[in-house]
Structure formats: C-alpha cells, structure tokens
Amino acid sequence: MSSVHVIGAGLAGLSCAVRIDAAGLNVTVHEAAGYAGGRCRSYLDSKLDRRIDNGNHLLLSGNRSALAYLSEIGAADSLVAPEGAGVAGAPPALKIGGTPPCVPPGFAFLDLENGGRWTVPAGLSCLLRVPGGRFRDYLDGFRLSRAGPGATVAGILDVEAPVFRNFWEPLCVGVLNISAEEGAASLMAAVLGETLGLGAAACSPRVVREGLSESFILPALKKLENKVLFNHRLKSIELSVDKAASLDFGGGDNVVLGDGDHVVLAVPPLTAADLIPGLEAPRGSRAIVNAHFLMEEKRSSVSAGVSLLGLVGGVSQWLFVRGGIASVTISAADHLAGESNEVLAGRLWPEVAMALGLGGAPMPPVRIVKEKRATFAQTPEEIMRRPGPVTKWRNLLLAGDWTNTGLPATIEGAIRSGQNAAAEIISG
Ligand SMILES: Cc1cc2nc3c(=O)[nH]c(=O)nc-3n(C[C@H](O)[C@H](O)[C@H](O)COP(=O)(O)OP(=O)(O)OC[C@H]3O[C@@H](n4cnc5c(N)ncnc54)[C@H](O)[C@@H]3O)c2cc1C
C-alpha cells in the first residue's frame, strides 16, 4: 500500500495525519522535537510546578475545522465557554473562585487606564455595547468584509472612533498578531465572515478546559498510536523534475518514496523554504509574550472553568485564569521580546492585580514565555507569498498556518491547512 509521510507534528501535521489515517492509508508523522504540538502545546513548568500552555489560545465557536478535528480525535467536549465572559461591570467578571455566573456568551473587557468595564455580547449587536459605539460603526464591519488584498485594517476603519480603540484594534491584534496599521484587512474579513457574520452561535469565545495538549495533541497521538516518530528531523528532500524522490533524516536514515507515496511538509515557513529551494513563503514574523502568574492556593480554588478578560489601555491584552494560574497574553509583542523577564513581569503584574481586584498585592512566582516567531507577519505583502497545498512536485504537498488557507495563522488555519492537504491526497 502507498504511504504518506507527514513532516511536523504541529496542528497542521496532526490534523492531516488523522484524516489520512481515517481514510485507511499508511501514514507516518516525522517530528523533529521530542514532543508534538509545535506552537500549541502544554508542558510541566519546573519553576511553577504546574502544567502550563506555551501561550494562551482563544478559539471561536465558529471555528468549524478545529471543531471537526476535535470530534475526529474524540476531544470535542474539551473546549469550554470561559466563565466571566458576558458579565458586565465585574470584578465578578473574572472570578478566581466560587460559582461560575450564568451569563450569555460574549467578551468581558476592562480599561486599565480608567477602570471602565464592559461586555461585548457575541453577535452582530456587539458594536453597540462597546464604549463610544454608534450605529454607524456597524458599517465598519461591512467595509472590512469588502476589503481588497492590499488593504490594511487601519486603512479601512475609522481609527479615531472609540470603537476602534475599544474593539477593532484589540480584535485585530488578537486575531492577526500584528498592529491594525500593518495587518491585512482581507484576513480579518475572512474571520468575520466565518464567525461574527454568522451570528452569536459562531462568535462565542472558546478556551481549552484543561490544557492545549489535553485538547489538541494527546488525543491525536492516541489515535495515531505508534505512527509518530519523535526526534526525527527531516534534513533534506531529494527532488526530481516532477516528484519528491527521497527523504533524508541524516545518519544514513533515508526513505525512498515509491510510486503513489506522498509527502506533506507541515513545518514552519522558514524551514519549508530551506527544504525546498526557491519556495515562495512568508519571511517576516511577529512575537507573542505570555506571563503565567502562580496564584495563592486560597485564591485559586477554582476547580473547573476558565475565566477570560480583554484588557485595553495597558500592556496586557488578554487575561486567562485557569487552575490557579493567571496568564496574560501580549500579541504583536516584538517591542517587548527584548526586555528582561524581570522587567516584563514587573510591568505586567500591576495590571493583572488590578484586573483581579488584588490591589497592591506582591507579585507571585511567574514564568515569562516569549514566542519570537509566534506567527508569520500577516501584512498584505506577506499574504501574497503564501503558497497553496499543491506544489509543482506531484507527490509533495504543503501545510501549516502560513500556507494559503485564506485564514489568519491560527489554530483554525493550521488545522484547515492539514485537512486541505489530506483532501488533495485522498481525492487523488
Ligand atoms: C504564544 C502563541 C499564542 C497563540 N495564540 C493563538 C490563539 O489564541 N488562537 C489561535 O487560534 N492561534 C493562536 N496561535 C497560533 C497557533 O498556535 C498556530 O497557528 C498553530 O499552532 C500552528 O500550527 P502549525 O502546525 O502550522 O505549525 P507548528 O506548530 O510550528 O508545527 C510545526 C512542527 O514541525 C516541526 N518541525 C520543524 N522542522 C522540522 C523538520 N525539519 N523535520 C520534522 N519536523 C519539523 C516542529 O517541531 C513543529 O512541531 C498562537 C501561537 C503562539 C505561539
């Protein structure tokens, strides 16, 4: 039987391999690291003595490819609606203990400059609930949906409007991991079309109940049994005129590709460009910084449930509280990536303490995680460099959040890219 070799056990590689496996084809995943998950994984942090995620990840209920993947690996119930979302005027909006409030789905926000709190309900009426939101701001959403490929988000929207500062800008930075001045409007349009544009059922926040690996990675590895080879880095691909001929893993470990065999390269863009000379791929990237604060046991008695709060007017952008860890995320964080961990923690903790109503509480133990190449730079110029899944070598396909899915570099985009590559192979 012909074989499919998937290179990379991130979400793109795993989602591809799961579909190939389900179609009854032979599949082997080759992963360079000693673990799976790539940029979306959990691990035991020795300093905090807790399992943490490399970074907080937010999904939306309309992320259909991600939800389909979770169903396929038997983890559909591992995503939850965060507590606190939908609670206006809180401190209760972000609870560290106690009973979860019963609220409609939405996003709770805090303005770190003036202490203002508001909730943006999931659904089309959201813009009217943003401080300063006016009826005509609805038109911004329509303008975005008609954006051409060269437009930036800030180029389309009214950057002076309060709704830009309090909604569109945090949304753009969160979704595209780049400032609204640089971010491609067409990618925001694609997200809006698949989420906000479909109503509340498609744009409610979702977070992992336990950890990224528990939701997205470990169930997939279980499904794939022993078909994932770790510490198995692809060193080079021998390419003939129209097909990939063999894979070199170093030290004489060489896989010759037979007729009908396929390779799916699901590695980051710079690695793909190294392996395939002349490949057109995005080159720039943007960083994401996460700070995970270990909360005192008596304050962290929450047993189930996750809280989420959007933050504007400060350095921190999103605050997640889960299992005794309060984590802040800062996207488009290249300007912070060079700062020392101590300085960063000192800047972020007062904001976290304010959000949690902890006043001048001393800073607890903290782990700073800097992902310097969290995503490719999602500018209008760079998205023109995204290749599709098919290459000029008939048995060599591409996957990864940086390939041309029409979506931003997200969990949804990565999983869809893997599913697209699998569909190409399965359909022949
Ligand atoms: C801090 C952070 C926060 C994020 N927040 C969100 C969020 O809130 N919501 C959201 O939807 N998305 C978010 N993302 C984006 C999301 O995590 C990524 O889009 C997704 O994980 C990318 O998956 P991938 O499979 O395309 O790439 P990767 O995860 O990079 O996987 C590539 C894999 O290939 C392996 N590899 C590399 N070279 C080789 C080789 N030569 N041979 C074999 N294997 C190789 C790597 O080790 C890796 O496992 C975030 C990302 C980060 C870093």
Question: What is the pLDDT at residue 305?
Answer: 54
Question: What is the pLDDT at residue 121?
Answer: 81
Q: Residue of the nearest CA to atom 41 in ligand 1?
A: 234
The distance in angstroms from the start CA to the end CA of the chain is: 14
Question: Which residue of 208, 327, 410 sits with most ligand 1 atoms within 8 Å of its CB, as the best mutation to test the pocket?
Answer: 410
Question: What is the pLDDT at residue 93?
Answer: 37
* Protein residues whose CB sits closer than 6 Å to any atom of ligand 1: 7-13, 30-33, 38-40, 54-55, 57-59, 233-234, 266-268, 271, 288, 290, 371, 374-375, 400-401, 409-412, 414
pLDDT tens digit sequence for 86-112 = 333 343 334 433 334 434 568 889 999
- Long-range pairs for 294-298 at CB < 8 Å and ≥24 separation? 294/48, 294/50, 294/324, 294/325, 294/364, 294/365, 294/366, 295/96, 295/321, 295/324, 295/325, 295/326, 295/364, 296/364, 297/324
253, two tokens: 């470990």
Question: What is the pLDDT at residue 128?
Answer: 73
pLDDT digits (tens), the chain, 428 positions: 789 999 999 999 999 999 999 999 999 999 999 999 999 999 999 999 999 999 999 999 999 999 999 999 999 999 999 875 433 334 333 443 333 443 456 888 999 999 999 888 877 677 777 888 887 777 777 888 888 889 999 999 989 988 898 888 999 999 999 999 999 999 999 999 998 888 888 988 999 999 999 999 999 999 999 999 999 999 999 999 999 999 999 999 999 999 999 999 999 999 999 999 999 999 999 999 999 999 975 444 333 457 899 999 999 999 999 988 999 999 999 999 899 999 999 999 999 999 999 988 999 999 999 999 999 999 999 999 999 999 999 999 999 999 999 999 999 999 999 999 999 999 98
- Helix H or strand E encompassing 286: strand 285-294
Domains parsed from the chain with CATH numbers: 3-41+212-284+378-426 (3.50.50.60), 82-122+287-375 (3.90.660), 123-201 (no CATH)
Nearest to residue 344, comparing CAs of 295, 285, 293, 284? 293
In single-letter form, the type of residue at position 10 comes to: G
pLDDT tens digit sequence for 182-209 = 999 999 999 999 988 888 889 889 999 9
Question: What is the pLDDT at residue 140?
Answer: 77
DSSP letter, residue 9: -
Question: What is the pLDDT at residue 131?
Answer: 83
DSSP letter, residue 365: -
Question: What is the pLDDT at residue 124?
Answer: 67
Q: Residue of the nearest CA to atom 4 in ligand 1?
A: 57
Number of the ligand 1 atom closest to the C-alpha atom of 369:
1
Write the DSSP assignment of 51-114 as a string of letters. Answer: EEESS---EETT-HHHHHHHHHTT-GGGEEPPBTTT-TT-STTS-SSSPPP---SEEEEEETTT
Integer CA distances (angstroms), 78 to 183, 200, 261, 286, in order? 31, 20, 34, 29
254 φ/ψ angles, rounded to the nearest 5 degrees: -125, 130
Q: Sign of torsion, CA 128 131 133 134? A: positive
- C-alpha 16: how far from its chain's center? 17
Distance CA 280, CA 172 (A): 26
Question: Which residue of 5, 6, 35, 40 sits with most ligand 1 atoms within 8 Å of its CB, as the best mutation to test the pocket?
Answer: 40
Write the DSSP assignment of 208-273 as a string of letters. Answer: ESS-HIIIIIHHHHHHHTT-EESS----EEEE-SSSEEEEE-STT-EEEPPTT-EEEE-S-HHHHH
Question: What is the pLDDT at residue 370?
Answer: 97
Question: What is the pLDDT at residue 297?
Answer: 54
